[in-house]
Amino acid sequence: MQKYEKLEKIGEGTYGTVFKAKNRETQEIVALKRVRLDDDDEGVPSSALREICLLKELKHKNIVRLHDVLHSDKKLTLVFEHCDQDLKKYFDSLNGEIDPDIVKSFITQRSNRLSFSHCKHVIGRQQKYPSLALNESGELKLADFGLARAFGIPVRCYSAEVVTLWYRPPDVLFGAKLYNTSIDMWSAGCIFAVLKSVTQILFMGESEDEGQYTFTVFLNHEQSSLGEGEGEGQYKSTSLHLESTVHLSYSKYFSKIRHRRLNRLLICNPALRMSAEDAMTHSYFADLLPSLHNG
């Protein structure tokens, strides 16, 4: 640990504490994530293991860079590239006003890196806007891979306890264990909506039950108000309406074309949800510089 000088505590990750630190030799500022290996626990946590070896494989400008792993018998220290702020702090500093072009740039960068990691057979399962970090030049980086895992084809059963509740897709919220990249695309839709509306979370719920409830009420409400719902109120954990799309009454924030895109991300049936690559070719991004597409 002599190589780095601890400056301040930044926060708590999925596991362990994160510090801001300085490399004594190069003066470079880094983020240190420390995982304690106590005598009474089960060795290195699987989330730490997965995060380390996934980040070793994923090198992309929209993914936070893992520089090094230091280890001793008592602790593991992950040395990350340091980002100045996360998206949540950035929004809080904006007081509710956001430039549509910045939103577009963020969304592009997110879709870009999602498409990249999906091609590298990694699902994030941890899309939420506090885990998206920003550096000085406005580059968006995904910072928390604590719940990520590689997937294979055919996809096997994974844990349903993934993704922060507010960004969890309905199929998984209702207990589906067989999922794949579509789980990230739902969260992407939620974040997109959050970005457009500036910090207004779509499906807020304090617990899983409440999450399901909020969701059900939301769908029922939307369906009845649109007059196209059939058998509202039958939404039980076993009978998920897979064909429905979440219709959003966020017209204030969304122009039609964006709305349509969101609709394709927030589709209850995971098989019909847009893929990250499709998202990248959407007309919403058509007017962006080509340089943003290749990265």
Partner 1 sequence: VLLGYEYQNDIYEIKKDLEKPYHPINCMASQPVVTSFMRCTLVNWLVKVNHELKFAPETAFLAVNLCDRFLQATPLAQDCLQLMATSALTVAAKMEECIVPGISELVAMCGGTYQPHHFRRMEVLMLSKLGFELYAPTTWFFITHLAMKAAESGSWDKRVVSLA
Q: Which residues of the chain form contacts with partner 1 (CB under 8 A)? A: 37, 39, 42-46, 49-50, 52-54, 56-57, 69, 71, 73, 76, 118-121, 149-159, 178-182, 270-271, 275, 277
- b/e burial code for range 60-77 (CB count within 10 A of at least 16 → b): eebbbebeebeeeeeebb
Give the nearest distance from C-beta 173 to partner 1 in angstroms.
17
Q: What are phi and psi of 71, to 5 degrees?
A: -145, 150
Give the nearest distance from C-beta 24 to partner 1 in angstroms.
22
Give the nearest distance from C-beta 276 to partner 1 in angstroms.
10
Distance CA 162, CA 170 (A): 12
Give the nearest distance from C-beta 150 to partner 1 in angstroms.
6
Q: What are phi and psi of 252, to 5 degrees?
A: -55, -35
Give the nearest distance from C-beta 192 to partner 1 in angstroms.
21
Does 88 show up as a binding residue in the annotation?
no
> If we measure between CA atoms, which residue out of 184, 192, 205, 166 comes closest to residue 121?
184
Instruction: Please state, as a whole number, how many other Cβ atoms lie within 10 Å of the Cβ of residue 190.
Output: 26
Distance CA 68, CA 25 (A): 15
Distance CA 85, CA 31 (A): 12
Under a CB-based contact definition with an 8 Å cutoff, are residues 267 and 219 in contact? no
List residues forming the annotated binding site for ATP: 33
